[in-house]
A = this chain, B = another copy of it.
Amino acid sequence: MSTNKLPTQAEDFPAWYVEVVKRAELAEHGPAKGSMIIKPHGYAIWELTQRALDDRFKATGHENLYFPLLIPMSLLDKEADHVEGFAPQVAVVTHGGGEKLEEPLAIRPTSEAIIWSTYKRWIQSYRDLPLLYNQWANVVRWEMRTRLFLRTSEFLWQEGHTAHATADEAVAETLQMLEVYRQVAEGVLGIPVHMGRKSPGERFPGAVETYCIEGLMRDAKALQCGTSHFLGQNFAKAYDVTFLNADGEQEHAWATSWGFSTRMIGGTIMAHGDDAGLRLPPAVAPIQVAIVPIARTDDERAKVLEVAGKLRADLAAQGIRVRLDDRDQHRPGYKFAEWELKGVPVRIELGPRDIAAGQVVMASRLGGEKEAVGLAEVASGMGDRLASIQRELYADALAYREANTHEITTFDEFATGIEERGGFWVGAWCGDAACEAEIATKTKASIRFLPIEPADPGSPCMHCGAPGVDIAHWARAY
């Protein structure tokens, strides 16, 4: 671990991010351009996030399956908007087994094409519907400017792909999965998010409607945290997926897709971190409690490690993820800084005097203040303590977002404000794509979301003055 001070968030947020990712050993760049190595501390956050999502997918009736990585180019080309959106980002395999392939293969940038060409075989009758499937997979989207977790050529995600007999059912599914994403973002990652609808220009290529959850990072920039798409019958038509409905008529199936990715590790870093490093929500902290023994002599060390070992076992028995840091090459102060940097929610210090007093010294990563706690109460009280830290982190992030959300009164105030302070800016929009594009050019901000149902703002567009048809949240975004 480097002992130089981290850049502060205030002086250089991007540099702070890069250094935290590196020093907390979350990830690093791989040898191929834009690629990422996710290190154990980063991957463990992802595993815990996966489990939280997967449990909820199954509880809402979904099953996992797995489609191939490689997709014949001709298959990708069938949905016009979809191919237009993704073709520029595709990595292409031209050789295999030492020979040039007859047809080049795309590495999946997303799997609608291969999945809907397969659903054609799986769907014949309304009795085959709905199909409620999800896959955990890697995808590749060629990127020129990469940033670890946030934008990499390859990333890990889940992509749900469902098929339904009616539009209403598909829309309900789309919104149900958006709600699942909200629950995981807020309840597990501790990131308050808005649920909303993208403007037409920001829709997923091939979607009729794209819904999203959108969070605010501690540099007052927005992050899209997950998307859920109502695809209408676009893919069913492109891949000729019809079914016999209950009235005996052939109909195209209705589709949804929804994805949540390793990008959210970046979101978790940026939504909670401070100038000392990561602050991890206990629900996804690979280590929830670090025990640092303090001893000067070998005798003291033996004694302290014995008590610490028992404490570790007691905590583990409560289902707490605990690490006893018994490394002898580092001093306690070094260890404190390391666990702080790595975002461990609770640190326990244990020395001979503590043992004599039947206590430990406990420090929360949030406040940092130290507190003496009776040895006998440590394990039994830890669940509540972690739950309270989880709530506090969320409350902190929510307060930050509220403090950085502004009503737009005039366009000029918005343009100046977003340059100076970032944040969400909320105002009436005319619904015109040209107006949206003009605002984006002037402010480097984009519409992060509109309300799920269009809402009459009761006032004219804050930019062009035409009648307002919707209320937009604007922000600069990752």
Contact = CB atoms under 8 A, between A and B. Distances in A.
A88 B118 CA distance: 30
B144 A68 contact: no
A26 to B, nearest CB: 10
A257 B228 CA distance: 39
Nearest to A144: B97
Contacts of A426: none
A417 interface: no
A32 B88 contact: no
A156 B90 CA distance: 22
B67 A32 contact: no
B68 A40 contact: no
Nearest to A104: B95
A208 interface: no
A70 B32 contact: yes
Nearest to A38: B66
Q: Which of the listed residues A92, A96, A127, A154 has the most CB atoms from chain B within 10 Å of its own CB?
A: A96
Interface string A59-102: 00001111111111001000000000001111111111110000
Given A37-B65, A66-B37, A107 B88 contact: no
A4 to B, nearest CB: 18
A317 to B, nearest CB: 15
A138 interface: yes
A140 interface: yes
A2 interface: no
Contacts of A36: 68
Contacts of A67: 30, 37
A411 interface: no
Contact of A38 (B42, B65, B72, B153): B65
A114 interface: yes
Contacts of A91: 70, 93, 95-97, 105
Nearest to A113: B31
Contacts of A94: 92-95
Interface string A312-336: 0000000000000000010000000
Contacts of A143: 97
A97 to B, nearest CB: 3
B105 A32 contact: yes
A32 B64 CA distance: 21
B93 A156 contact: no
Q: Which of the listed residues A31, A42, A104, A138 has the most CB atoms from chain B within 10 Å of its own CB?
A: A31
Contact of A43 (B64, B97, B142, B144): B64
Given A38-B65, A40-B65, A31 B156 contact: no
A143 to B, nearest CB: 8
Contact of A35 (B64, B68, B95): B68
Interface in A16-58: 30-32, 35-40, 42-44, 46-47
A146 to B, nearest CB: 12
A114 B31 contact: yes
Contacts of A105: 32, 91
Nearest to A137: B138
Given A70-B35, A140-B69, A64 B44 contact: yes
A40 B64 contact: yes
A87 B67 CA distance: 25
A400 interface: no
Contacts of A39: 65
Nearest to A63: B40
A328 to B, nearest CB: 10
B37 A68 contact: yes
Contact of A329 (B42, B98, B127): B127
B92 A64 contact: no
A117 interface: yes
A154 B70 contact: yes
A71 B138 contact: no
20 contacts: A31-B72, A37-B65, A37-B66, A37-B67, A37-B68, A38-B65, A40-B64, A66-B156, A69-B138, A70-B91, A70-B140, A88-B98, A89-B97, A90-B96, A91-B95, A92-B94, A92-B95, A95-B104, A97-B143, A137-B138
Given A44-B63, A91-B105, 5 more contacts: A43-B63, A69-B140, A70-B91, A91-B95, A97-B142
Of all A-B residue pairs in the complex, the 9 with the closest CB atoms, nearest first, are A97-B142, A35-B68, A40-B63, A30-B68, A38-B66, A92-B95, A96-B142, A91-B96, A94-B94
